[in-house]
Amino acid sequence: MPQRWRWKRDNPNRAQSQKRGHPSHAHRKRRLPKPMAKELVTKMADEQLDRLDSFRVFITAAEEGAAIPPVAEQDLKCLHGLCVERAKRYCGKDGVVSIDSMASACSPDANLPAVWLRHAQLRSMYRQGLLAEWQHGTALDDAVFRLAATIPMNGIHLDQEAFVRHLRARDCAA
């Protein structure tokens, strides 16, 4: 028998560590029973497929000119923060996030495809420098998110000039 196996088998400290609940064995206590784990994985996969299907249906309708519903300002802020963080952490990814990451960042009742589409338009203006007046580093003023969340939008494109005009008009009114 190789030396390493004999040491493990004959080591009295090994037996003691198992009795005391040594951290290296802690993972064994947290495992789900196999049928329960399989059910959980299946449920998670079904949720992911449902999200993906809802995105496909939504984007197809948007490409045909459908109205994009308003979203919560906070969901846009959370998605923007997540994208900025990802862009910092993963160079060259420009804030690409998965649907699951977006779902965990946004509120549970968020219309994820609408949040994503509105944020994509906001990101485009952000990258082009059109929002420089309302930008502080990577942060944007609340007014930007408020308007992006509620401005009427039909199809996949946002009228960028109208968006900036609305922001300036809000600044003058305030």
pTM of the predicted protein model: 0.70
| Partner residues linked to 136 by β-bridges | 139
pLDDT tens-digit profile of 17-40?
A: 444 444 554 445 566 566 666 666
pLDDT higher than threshold 90 for residue 65: yes
DSSP 28-96: HHSPPPHHHHHHHHHHHHHHHHHHHHHHHHHHHHHHTTPEEPP--HHHHHHHHHHHHHHHHHSTTSTT-
The C-alpha atoms of residue 125 and residue 131 are separated, in whole angstroms, by 6
The C-alpha atoms of residue 121 and residue 115 are separated, in whole angstroms, by 10
Q: What is the band of 90 on the pLDDT scale with cuts at 50, 70, 90?
A: confident
pLDDT higher than threshold 50 for residue 7: no
pLDDT higher than threshold 50 for residue 54: yes
For 104-109, the CB contacts below 8 A with 24+ separation are 105/75, 105/78, 105/79, 105/81, 106/72, 106/75, 106/78, 106/79, 107/72, 107/74, 107/75
- Residue 77 confidence (pLDDT): 95
pLDDT tens-digit profile of 120-148?
A: 999 999 989 999 999 998 899 999 999 99
Q: What is the band of 73 on the pLDDT scale with cuts at 50, 70, 90?
A: very high
Please provide the average confidence, as pLDDT, over all residues in the chain: 80
The C-alpha atoms of residue 158 and residue 131 are separated, in whole angstroms, by 14
